[in-house]
Structure 1
Amino acid sequence: MTFKNFKIETDADGIALVTWDIPGRSMNVLDTTTIEELGAIVDQTTADAAVKGVVITSGKEAFSAGADLSMLEGMNKAFAETRKAKGEEAAQQLLFDESRKLSLTLRRIETSGKPWVAAINGLALGGAFEVTLACHYRVAADNPKTKLGLPEIKVGLFPGGGGTQRLARLLQPQDTMQMLLKGEAINLTKAKAMNLIGAVVPAAELITAAKEWIKSGGKAAAPWDEKGFKLPGGPVYSKQGMQLFPAGNAIYRRETFDNYPAARAIMQCVYEGLQLPMDAALRVESRYFAKILQSKEAAAMIRSLFISMQELSKGARRPPNVPPTKVKKLAIIGAGFMGASVGFVSARGGMDVVLIDRDQASADKGLGHCEAAIDGLISKGRAKEADKAALMARITATADFDVIKDCDLVIEAVFEDRAVKAEIYKKVQPLLKEGAIIASNTSTLPINSLAEEFTDQSKFIGIHFFSPVEKMMLVEIIVGKNTGDVALATALDYVRVIGKTPIVVNDSRGFFANRCVLRFTAEGLEMLLEGVPPAMIENTAKMAGMPVGPLSLSDEIALDLVLKIMKATEADLGSQAVDQAQKKLIVE
């Protein structure tokens, strides 16, 4: 039998090498075809007496990043159609059956009676990592880029292919909860120490090592299917278990205010599943997975964090008539915390960066921030000294505006003061080279009004970063009424190169994010003025799903910046545009 997404070769020793290699894609994904074909391969190799064992690996650079979440969207559509046509019970049965196909296939691997080995050649996340967990042994190629994990919680879901049950039977309960609830991937060193990987070998020896484990008598049984198996952390109702689960439940509620149903379902799956035999535990997981798949939280997170992100990566909102642009040299005017941070992420993206400020001392201070940022990454093991040398070589600090003549993009990141910005623009305009674009990092001032300082307004655009720039992924691209396609394309191409997520918004005071945020913080200040206790204001906001309360957020934004925004709004629109009582509260 031939397959679309897999190749099978059986050697003289009877070991079948299954290579996952979806044609036309740079990364393998678990889609409907893959799951169906994997099931057929399990049945075929199980029934074939000539096959003594199976090694599954990838024909790509990575093993796989996991499931194609658009497949899950399709399940929800089928659920809605079935409910309309045949009723609730038929729809629920359909969703349950469809959502557990991978789980049943992986269980068949586990109970096939033939040893399966996962030969992990690179990244293995989500459902792909669940495939490896269902194998009887895991061996990985020595690759510093390899990460293993179950990140489903980050899109409002949880592992539905047996991940909650196998992980909980391999690890201590605390480690299981960390991996499931945080969704963070781990490197091979940690995976080996946690016994999630049996061996790490040179890449050239990966398949040989996997086959050798089978030939040397590797068991075709998971530990939990053998008589006498004991849970690593002891039974749920043991002393250790009772120290974990009640406290874990309290921590979950404190951290999430029960706004993340997937996190609660993870705890329920582990708690209930560990009290049951594996097959029953997997049914429990599947029932919770089908329930969470219907939640509005999962639907919203899948749409925003996966479907929309895919559209962005394919060039959504980018003018199709503009050829690809490349910013080789970038100037940032204003080397304060925000400007220096933008310079840092831009240099990490491979660009030459010039930090410009009113004097050399101020510019050098911005350079010092960049050095401190890379030192922080080195101390956490996320960068090396060689990375620091290369990055710092790309950043220059100066008070000389003439360097702008060599730059493809200029980003202004000075105070939220229209007069200060206008003065900067007067200096910049005659220095811009042919085809160069200028952008403002303003957080609230309308781009149309700032663009009035320019003769050629088609070159002017807003690129609004959020603080701290190193961590915040979102960047607003603000289009004015006269912003040209080249400026928009340049901004989008630049933001993608530095690894951020761009959203294109039309011009208005506060744009999109701050129009939402400032109404949120203003409501908090209004409640405070009305006499509502601060703790109640903060906790109510968190209960509604906000990560921090409005008063804390005002403080984090910086009250002096909030005041500057109020004054700028008042100067443009008059005193009636600002709540004077709130302004007085901040001043005092």
Structure 2
Amino acid sequence: MSAIQYEKNADNIIILTLDSPNQSANTMNADFRVALENIVSKLKSETIITGIILRSAKKTFFAGGDLDELIQARREDATPFFQMIEKMKAEFRYIETLGVPVVAALNGTALGGGWEIALGCHYRIALNDPKTKFGLPEVTLGLLPGGGGIVRMVRLLGLQNAFPFLMEGKQFGIDKAKSLGLIQDTADSEQELMDKAVAWVKANPKSQQPFDVKGYKIPGGDPRTPAVAQVLAIAPAMLRDKTKGCYPAPEAIMAAAVEGAQVDVDTALRIESRYFTKLATGQVAKNMIGTFWHGLNAIKSGASRPQNVAKWQATKVGILGAGMMGAGIAYSTAAKGIAVVLKDVSLENAEKGKAYSQKLLDKKVSQGRISAEKREQILSLITATANAADLQGCDLIIEAVFENPELKAKVTQEAEVYLAENGIFASNTSTLPITGLAKSSRNDKNFIGLHFFSPVDKMPLVEIIKGQNTSAETLAKAYDYVQQIGKTPIVVNDSRGFFTSRVFGTFVQEGLRLLAEGVHPAKIEMAALKAGMPVGPLAIQDEVSLTLTEHVASETRKALQAEGKDLPRSSADDVTETMIHQFDRKGKAAGAGFYEYPENGKKFLWDGLKHWHKDNDITEPEMIDRFLFVQSLDTLRCYEENVLESVVDANIGSIFGIGFAPWTGGALQFLNQYGLDKALARANELEAKYGERFKAPQMLKEKAASGEKIQ
């Protein structure tokens, strides 16, 4: 069956129905390209055509490019890849310039290549549905809209108005599309959609794209227009400040848009194809597609979930501790329609925790994102209490109290008696081994770790930690709950610090070591940003608080000594100790840390950090390598030690939990894309200069020798 069905009605209107075989959604795959070529041949042989209507046989209009194909494109394939893209665009351009009206009947979402097909039509009618989304999200996968999306969006909206949709991948609904003039009409049924399309074709026999009309000017002006030229003079610098040079896609989009706006449409389309080819055959796009598309989809489909356990939904969730973490978990749970009991030692504390949800919801109401009724509905799901008996019937209880084993044991035993039959109990610890905490439970098979990240309402990841005796049923229920509240789960095995806290610590410690080595703090922070980390190690250490870091290190040292092991002190420990006990600077919450926090101004690095400044020859590329290698090598150790069970969990967890540079595709993909033989050589160099933390794991040596990837 053809991916595009061809039909000519009694009015000589050609109706092209997009219907990719063997797929639930339409994509620009090989089947589609063959079908498009055949369609254009048929159109060329027609003697009478009064118009063309494009519609879809799927639930959505069109999903976009075939990412399975795109990830295979190599540098040596650049010429045939470019020619393939150009051929497909020329066929679309033939339809667009045939001299008859062309209508897109959009029955649902059209993203990426789907929106580009719609833009290639003269008139767009959408089926009314609040869930429908349009847009060009390619930049989020390291790509650009290569099917004419840049050229047409710029010509229809103007450079400045098009930039957010192109360089940030902003998606939009039907109302926004109408206000932008990108959707001209709507329909309430599929029949009305087609009726309106046919009527428009009949009413506009000589239609063409507005930008193909002689004398058409780009809204706001082209790059030679003084106002636009003024903006473009500083735009590249502003963009580089955002990307730090790690992401080639936004820069390529800006270049293609600006260059394309100075030439005719067909030349602009060719410029776009050249930039698209460069990105699609480059490594960054492969890293990002592999993790943000294939990896995330694997997790969504339950890759790390026990397969033989029935799907489960939480109906009533108890949360112990109404501090920042507990309050955030309560909000995220209630926002998905689940009843929550938020318990603290006093009703006042519990009400303060509930007030956190009120504050977040009030903001959404003021922004017009939800109604006042919806706010009240969500708040009514949260019961603030100091009475443990209110936990009766919870099918999941999560403790989110202070990182103290005795306190956690006490609240676990107090609350567990109220669990519903077959209910599960979870600890939101970030470092304490789950197997040890589970000893206080009546049933350690039903005990698991759910490590949320702060602030919970914004952070997408939850690290699920299996204790030694955690059952498959408990793991499956925890996985289902995390997905139920719209978060992304990764699954790890029990160990001190688990995966994310352990590896996150290596990043922060490396920053403190660099400070101890005499590197200027501003250089340390900038090197981390240029590596692709979202925040510098000194800034993040202030957020976490130096006292908490000291406390965790002290508790870890005690626990290891009890096991006959030791945690050697490092220069990073000395920096932390000096900051707290000599300079009384404990972090952001205390009002003073590595940064100063003026009441009404922007934070800035504390001048007293010159205490450590001395001459050194550490270059920025060297610091970048230290930040990326110290984390990726420890992630590989976690995989080797079976703390991590899958490469997907490692890559997703490192980006969404730690903030590891997204351009790399994750901590293990960083090593793969670096080249494992080269990564081994670099690790050996770093170990020789800086010590054992850069020692190559055995798995890296074996994979480098065999030529296999870490997978």
- TM normalised by structure 2 equals 0.77
Kindly state the Cα deviation for residue 181 of structure 1 after the two structures are TM-superposed: 0.9
Of 128, 135, 140 in structure 1, the residue corresponding to residue 114 of structure 2 is: 128
Of 133, 137, 158 in structure 2, the residue corresponding to residue 151 of structure 1 is: 137
| Contact 2:321–2:401, Cα closer than 8 Å, also in 1 | yes
Kindly state the Cα deviation for residue 240 of structure 1 after the two structures are TM-superposed: 2.4
Provide the secondary structure at the position in 2 that maps to 1:410.
Answer: strand
| Contact 1:173–1:244, Cα closer than 8 Å, also in 2 | no
Of 228, 235, 246 in structure 1, the residue corresponding to residue 222 of structure 2 is: 235
Farther off after superposition, 241-250 or 95-104: 95-104
Provide the secondary structure at the position in 1 that maps to 2:262.
Answer: coil
Farther off after superposition, 231-240 or 463-472: 231-240
| Contact 1:136–1:219, Cα closer than 8 Å, also in 2 | no
Provide the secondary structure at the position in 2 that maps to 1:269.
Answer: helix
Provide the aligned C-alpha RMSD in A: 2.2
Kindly state the Cα deviation for residue 218 of structure 1 after the two structures are TM-superposed: 4.9
Aligned pairs (5 A) from 1:522-533: 522-533=509-520
- Structure 1: gaps spanning 5 or more residues: 81-87
Kindly state the Cα deviation for residue 482 of structure 1 after the two structures are TM-superposed: 1.6
Indicate whether 1:47 and 2:45 are aligned: yes
Provide the secondary structure at the position in 2 that maps to 1:54.
Answer: strand
Kindly state the Cα deviation for residue 489 of structure 1 after the two structures are TM-superposed: 0.4
Aligned pairs (5 A) from 1:346-385: 346-385=333-372
2:160 partner letter: Q
Pair 348,8 (structure 1): closer, same or farther in 2 beyond 3 Å: farther
Aligned pairs (5 A) from 1:305-454: 305-454=292-441
Q: Which residue of 2 aligns with 1:11?
A: 9
Kindly state the Cα deviation for residue 187 of structure 1 after the two structures are TM-superposed: 2.5
Indicate whether 1:181 and 2:167 are aligned: yes
| Contact 1:46–1:113, Cα closer than 8 Å, also in 2 | no
Farther off after superposition, 99-108 or 340-349: 99-108
Q: Which residue of 2 aligns with 1:20?
A: 18
Q: Which residue of 1 aligns with 2:31?
A: 33
Q: Which residue of 2 aligns with 1:162?
A: 148
- Structure 2: gaps spanning 5 or more residues: 585-711
2:116 partner letter: E
**1-side partners of 2:505 and 2:359: how far apart?**
31
1:362 partner letter: N
Provide the secondary structure at the position in 1 that maps to 2:65.
Answer: coil
Kindly state the Cα deviation for residue 101 of structure 1 after the two structures are TM-superposed: 4.9
Provide the secondary structure at the position in 1 that maps to 2:256.
Answer: helix
**2-side partners of 1:451 and 1:578: how far apart?**
30
Farther off after superposition, 507-516 or 365-374: 507-516
Q: Which residue of 1 aligns with 2:530?
A: 543
Deviations 1:140-162 (A, max 9, x none): 23332222211111111110101
Q: Which residue of 2 aligns with 1:62?
A: 60
Pair 560,61 (structure 1): closer, same or farther in 2 beyond 3 Å: farther
1:582 partner letter: V
Q: Which residue of 1 aligns with 2:177?
A: 191
Q: Which residue of 2 aligns with 1:84?
A: none
Q: Which residue of 2 aligns with 1:83?
A: none
Kindly state the Cα deviation for residue 262 of structure 1 after the two structures are TM-superposed: 0.7
| Contact 2:156–2:211, Cα closer than 8 Å, also in 1 | no
**1-side partners of 2:78 and 2:65: how far apart?**
21
Kindly state the Cα deviation for residue 224 of structure 1 after the two structures are TM-superposed: 2.8
Kindly state the Cα deviation for residue 415 of structure 1 after the two structures are TM-superposed: 1.3
**1-side partners of 2:406 and 2:302: how far apart?**
36
Provide the secondary structure at the position in 1 that maps to 2:196.
Answer: helix
Q: Which residue of 1 aligns with 2:577?
A: 584
| Contact 2:425–2:446, Cα closer than 8 Å, also in 1 | yes
Pair 5,498 (structure 1): closer, same or farther in 2 beyond 3 Å: farther
Kindly state the Cα deviation for residue 578 of structure 1 after the two structures are TM-superposed: 5.1
Kindly state the Cα deviation for residue 566 of structure 1 after the two structures are TM-superposed: 2.5
Pair 370,534 (structure 1): closer, same or farther in 2 beyond 3 Å: same
**1-side partners of 2:176 and 2:470: how far apart?**
49
1:400 partner letter: N
Indicate whether 1:562 and 2:549 are aligned: yes
Pair 243,567 (structure 1): closer, same or farther in 2 beyond 3 Å: same
Kindly state the Cα deviation for residue 455 of structure 1 after the two structures are TM-superposed: 4.3
2:217 partner letter: K
Q: Percent identity?
A: 41
Deviations 1:90-125 (A, max 9, x none): x32222233445433322321233321112232221
Q: Which residue of 2 aligns with 1:119?
A: 105
Q: Which residue of 1 aligns with 2:617?
A: none
Kindly state the Cα deviation for residue 19 of structure 1 after the two structures are TM-superposed: 3.1
Q: Which residue of 2 aligns with 1:512?
A: 499
Farther off after superposition, 549-558 or 296-305: 549-558
| Contact 2:461–2:487, Cα closer than 8 Å, also in 1 | yes
Kindly state the Cα deviation for residue 439 of structure 1 after the two structures are TM-superposed: 1.1
Kindly state the Cα deviation for residue 316 of structure 1 after the two structures are TM-superposed: 0.3
Provide the secondary structure at the position in 1 that maps to 2:422.
Answer: coil
Pair 232,527 (structure 1): closer, same or farther in 2 beyond 3 Å: same
